[in-house]
Amino acid sequence: MSTSGFKTLDDAQLSGKRALVRVDFNVPMADGRVSDDTRLRAALPTIEKLRAGGAKVILLAHFDRPKGKRVPEMSLKPIIEPLSKLVGSDVRFADDCSGEAAKAAIEAMKPGDVILLENVRYEAGEEKNEEAFARALAVNGDLYVNDAFSAAHRAHASTEGLARILPAHAGEQMRRELQALDAALGNPKRPVLGIVGGSKVSTKLDLLNNLVGKLDRLAIGGGMANTFLAAQGVDVGASLCEHDLADTARQIMATANEKGCELLLPIDVVTAEKVEPGTSSAVRDLGAIGPADRILDAGPKTLARLIEAMDASATLVWNGPLGVFEVPPFDKATVSAAKHAANLAKSGRLVAVAGGGDTVAALNAAGVVDDFTFVSTAGGAFLEWMEGKELPGVAALAR
């Protein structure tokens, strides 16, 4: 999935063109106002490049799940004010994404102007990827730009259908994301270390099965590590554990062994009887976990071995925390490992790529998001890419 397979904005003639740009503005809102503008800022490099090239910038986006109906509280209108501030000039708004209202608003634009069209999910044809709706969008554009990797796992009219109709290009954020992902798993510098955490093995079976065939080492943490420990006969006490997946865990271990991927499971753990801030906790070796103990973090020996593995690696790909990082002191292993990876990445000794909602929150808690080589905010799309699945929005660009 390198960027050699599709066109970027560097390949486009922009002057005087109408650029239909799919962005992800599905941002957190509080009291009708944008509470986190990360996704708006992510779109700025593409918007700036198009404006500098003399294109009309026509932004397509969704917000929430109106299911093909006009739901007033799911309008994109509240985005206009913060986006205008970020862009540095007035962003226009059209209260429809297709039809006469959109057409008239776009015709009134001058090169370099920016307009945001109303929520594409107000139209039932969007999520059904109806060709008629994709064509209704396409009549207002000369070229299509997809800058929404986070929506690329959906085959919708604005993420996949449009790329079949108009000349299609990857936006700047999409290009950065795909280059980072290619460096992490496509054509990585070896050795490659993976960290996969989170609460349940059942939600990450496809991920684990794909990664053991691609990585040199895989560290498993969080609640899912308990299932692997229990499958090896370790008594995990009152810990979160999917005992019914013991055979599956053993199969993954066998596959890893076959494919030459070393699995790093916890060798000591931090336990407590309750998941509460400041509750009394203890470090335990694997044979000393009591019946009321709950494993809530990786222990110091496990952390030291993970740091050694990072030092010996050229590439790190990370999805999921090592413990219940939201509740101190059970954030220690996640935060310490994140800080170490960030220092290695900052000094150029490690390509460190991370993604997934909990992972981004954990790296934010550690204050190291900006020091990683790349942190994907794409959520579901990042996970499906790590699982080795084809993403329709990316595949459409490569046609």
- Angle of helix 38-52 relative to helix 80-87, nearest 10 degrees, comes to 50
Using an 8 Å Cβ cutoff, are 213 and 232 in contact? no
Instruction: Give DSSP secondary structure letters for 209-228.
Output: HHHTTT-SEEEE-SHHHHHH
Compute CA 294 distance to the chain's CA centroid, rounded to the nearest angstrom.
Answer: 29
Burial class (CB in 10 A: 0-12, 13-18, 19+), 224: buried
Q: Report the alpha-carbon distance of residue 197 to residue 362 in Å, rounded.
A: 11
Instruction: Enumerate the β-bridge partners of residue 196.
Output: 220, 319
CA dihedral 305, 311, 317, 321 (to 10 degrees): 40
Q: Report the alpha-carbon distance of residue 295 to residue 346 in Å, rounded.
A: 32
Does residue 85 carry a catalytic annotation?
no
Does residue 222 carry a catalytic annotation?
no
Does residue 200 carry a catalytic annotation?
yes
Tokens of 367: 């204050």
* Closest listed residue to residue 355, CA positions, set 340, 369, 344: 369
Q: Which of 200, 284, 301, 339 is catalytic?
A: 200
Q: Which of 68, 112, 186, 357 is catalytic?
A: 357
Tokens 């090239």 sit at which residue? 53
CA dihedral 376, 382, 386, 388 (to 10 degrees): -140
Q: Which of 5, 186, 380, 388 is catalytic?
A: 380
Does residue 332 carry a catalytic annotation?
no
Angle at 127 between CA 122 and CA 129, to 5 degrees: 120
Those residues with Cβ within 8 angstroms of residue 60's Cβ, 6 or more apart along the chain or in another chain: 20, 21, 22, 23, 97, 117, 120, 137, 158
Instruction: Enumerate the β-bridge partners of residue 374.
Output: 353
Q: Report the alpha-carbon distance of residue 297 to residue 326 in Å, rounded.
A: 11
Those residues with Cβ within 8 angstroms of residue 327's Cβ, 6 or more apart along the chain or in another chain: 275, 276, 277, 296
Q: Report the alpha-carbon distance of residue 144 to residue 239 in Å, rounded.
A: 50
Tokens 């299932």 sit at which residue? 227
Q: Report the alpha-carbon distance of residue 181 to residue 25 in Å, rounded.
A: 22
Query: E strand or H helix at 29, and its extent?
Result: strand 29-30
Q: Which of 17, 18, 22, 39 is catalytic?
A: 39
Q: So which residues are the catalytic ones? A: 39, 200, 357, 380
